[in-house]
Amino acid sequence: MIVIPPIAPIPSISAAMAAGAASAPAASPTPGTAGSSFQNLLGQAIDSLNGVTNNATSLSLDAAAGTATVADATVASSVATLDTQLASALASRAVSSLNSIMNMPL
């Protein structure tokens, strides 16, 4: 019998926000608190995407120079492509949602 190990859960945005809220002081919320945490979360996501893209570029250059394997460069490039496509799709969906909200009658 073959046993397949379980896949580790992917941390969600709500879990990250809950962790941020759990570490926040218990004082009453201020008007800018929710916006600040979303801004930080978005900034971290963009920084992560930038890091993945820079890693793929670096591994591609290393593979061309012969100091890294082509397989590593291919995997890093695929991950960077998928992450960029996800970010693009999320941005497109966010703009579409904002346009739908703006077109709602009052």
Tens of pLDDT, residue by residue over 77-104, are: 999 999 999 999 999 999 999 999 999 8
Tens of pLDDT, residue by residue over 21-79, are: 444 444 444 554 555 688 888 889 899 999 999 999 999 999 999 998 999 999 999 99
Residue 25 falls inside a structural domain: no
Q: Which domain holds residue 90?
A: 40-106
pLDDT at residue number 14 = 47
Residue 91 falls inside a structural domain: yes
Name the band, by pLDDT with cuts 50, 70 and 90, for residue 17: very low
Q: Which residues of 76-96 are buried (b: 16+ CB within 10 A; e: fewer)?
A: bbeebeebeeeeeeeeeeeee
Local structure of residue 103 (DSSP, 8 states): T
Q: Give the count of domains, the chain.
A: 1
pLDDT at residue number 86 = 93
pLDDT at residue number 2 = 65
